[in-house]
Chain A
Amino acid sequence: KNQVEQSPQSLIILEGKNCTLQCNYTVSPFSNLRWYKQDTGRGPVSLTIMTFSENTKSNGRYTATLDADTKQSSLHITASQLSDSASYICVVSAASGTYKYIFGTGTRLKVLA
């Protein structure tokens, strides 16, 4: 069964600190993996996309990694800001030619001043 699991479920950190969010997936065949940021009450917004051949990609203070062998991805946030408070969702696309995405349940991050 295709699944995406994220950990931790929630996380509280102080402003300026770094943190790492985890995503494990059992989607086959694998096409790509995206990280989305969802602010409370709003739609998700894409942060990064990782394909099979990529193992690191950065978008400002966000760095995503992918290990296709172990089927794990991480999202590292550097020097966190209050505006980073949001849910972060890992989404995996199966290479099936259909419009199918498997969503994780997200990690809720709270950054405190």
Chain B
Amino acid sequence: EAQVTQNPRYLITVTGKKLTVTCSQNMNHEYMSWYRQDPGLGLRQIYYSMNVEVTDKGDVPEGYKVSRKEKRNFPLILESPSPNQTSLYFCASSLGLAGVLGEQFFGPGTRLTVL
């Protein structure tokens, strides 16, 4: 089944404890992206990748890191999480940039709470 998977789905952690949220897609998509979703703000892009070893900042990159060593995986790293990073996180991938190819397929989400 074509899908985007994220792990973990739920995570409660404490301030400053490094964590990684994994994202994997099995559709051979070039493009991958991380978003956070907060009430009243909609989805905001954190980082994106247009190919292996090619990543770039989105609208809210502060406090996050990413890597794209393989085409299928795009982990999100929080080196020192803070309470303002408590949010619902989504990974997405697409085959291309524009038109039909630009349709993004989203993972199931990771709900992160930082105490």
What is the interface of chain A, defined by CB distance below 8 A to chain B?
Answer: 4, 31-32, 34, 41-46, 49, 51, 89, 93, 95, 97-101, 103-106
Contact = CB atoms under 8 A, between A and B. Distances in A.
Contacts of A32: 98-99, 102
Interface of B: 4, 31, 33, 35, 40-45, 48, 50, 56, 58, 90, 92, 97-100, 102-104, 106-109
A100 B58 CA distance: 8
A2 to B, nearest CB: 10
A42 B108 contact: yes
A42 B103 CA distance: 17
A29 B62 CA distance: 27
Nearest to A96: B97
B105 to A, nearest CB: 8
A70 B92 CA distance: 30
Contacts of B103: 34, 46, 49
A31 B101 CA distance: 12
Given A31-B98, A32-B102, A103 B44 contact: yes
B99 A89 contact: no
B102 A93 contact: yes
